[in-house]
A = this chain, B = another copy of it.
Amino acid sequence: MLKVAVVGASGYTGVELIRLLIGHPEVEITCVTSRQHEGLPISRAFPSLTGFCELVCESLDVDAIAAKSELVFTALPHKSAMDVIPGFLAAGCKVVDLSADYRLKDQAVYEHWYQEHSSPELLAEAIYGLPELFRSEIAGARLIANPGCYPTSVALGLAPLLKYDLVDPSTLVIDSKSGTSGAGRGAKQGSLYCEVNEGFKAYGVASHRHTPEIEQTLTVLSGSPVLVNFTPHLLPINRGILSTMYATLRGEENTAELIGLYQSFYGKEKFVRVMPSGELPNVAYVRGTNFCDIGVVSDERTGRVIVVSVIDNLVKGAAGQAVQNMNLICGVKEQLGLGIVPLFP
């Protein structure tokens, strides 16, 4: 059994990690930490866990955690993550970091969008953990930068277009919509039920921090620098991201041809489902799972392709992908613990 710790267990990503790890046949959770709930059972913070996990929340003591864990998931806010991760690595743990701290390869870009980086020497080593695109790099890593939720939905949706050079990257427009769990469990007025319910808004227009992460991945896929418009919106649902993406085709592929290319690109992938012609994905059909469902339409009137991708932001967009990365770097079968049937309705 693989001994793992969940550091920062009292957020929505934390509870989702615990849910997935409980169902994982090769994992033992050895430790959960929470400043807010220190000394209380994690099932007090999340009564859903009653009977499944009665661990008591600990404080964030790197040595104590490292002593009983082979792998640590850090589900902390950015900045908090980079303050403790070097310690876990030094103590011999593998780390899957769900914060943004090691996702951007270029320290200057990180510091422009976030803040000063306290361990830039690790940026080169950290591997961006999007297995469908970078599986070979992931296998040997000891530090995984688990991708952001929006960037995951975008990268998987656009990868075939960019890898096959089917579109002009300068025409990319990305319009994304996320469920409210993406805003976290912190008590903020903007996340209150009555503020979100029956509402809908864009936010962070032309300024959201996931923009450089998206551009970094698209640049790798494309082979040349990509700048995009990325507009996130807040959806009145708990879980799910849907990204609608537009680009001008270089050629005249029709919908069936594009779907065929997507199917061949993702043919062997367990967690990507390319929709047949005439069908489009819905966040409701991936709820609670590690799937990314993708629909593709060619608009012959305008010469653009429209791609719609959906994920569960807490699973493929966070905890599920983190478990997938754990499996890869620990030599466990990649799908283990993730073979969940979506909950519908």
Interface residues of A (CB under 8 A from B): 12, 15, 19, 22-23, 46-52, 171, 173, 175, 177, 180-181, 185, 187-189, 191-203, 205-206, 227-229, 231, 233, 235-240, 242, 244, 246, 273, 275, 279-288, 293, 295, 297-299, 301-302, 304, 306, 308, 310, 340-345
Question: Given the complex, which residues of B lie within 8 Å of A275, measured CB to CB?
Answer: 47
A168 to chain B, nearest CB (A): 11
Partner of A22, one of B202, B236, B341: B341
For this complex, 16 residue pairs linking A to B, each with C-beta atoms less than 8 Å apart, are: A12-B345, A19-B342, A48-B286, A177-B200, A185-B189, A193-B236, A194-B345, A197-B236, A197-B237, A198-B283, A200-B237, A201-B242, A203-B280, A205-B280, A229-B246, A231-B306
Taking a contact as CB atoms under 8 Å apart, the answer to whether B200 and A181 are in contact is no
Tell me the complex Cα distance, A292–B79, Å.
40
Partner of A181, one of B194, B201, B283: B194
Most chain B CB neighbours (cut-off 10 Å) among A12, A180, A197, A298: A197
Tell me the complex Cα distance, A144–B273, Å.
38
Tell me the complex Cα distance, A46–B196, Å.
14
Partner of A308, one of B205, B295, B299, B302: B205
Question: Given the complex, which residues of B lie within 8 Å of A345, measured CB to CB?
Answer: 12, 181, 194-195, 197-198, 238-239
Taking a contact as CB atoms under 8 Å apart, the answer to whether B46 and A175 are in contact is no
Tell me the complex Cα distance, A304–B47, Å.
26
Partner of A344, one of B48, B283, B287: B48
A303 to chain B, nearest CB (A): 9
Partner of A197, one of B171, B238, B297: B238
Would A288 and B343 be within 8 Å (CB), given that A177-B200, A206-B297 are in contact? yes
Tell me the complex Cα distance, A279–B202, Å.
10
Question: Given the complex, which residues of B lie within 8 Å of A52, measured CB to CB?
Answer: 341
Partner of A242, one of B173, B205, B233: B233
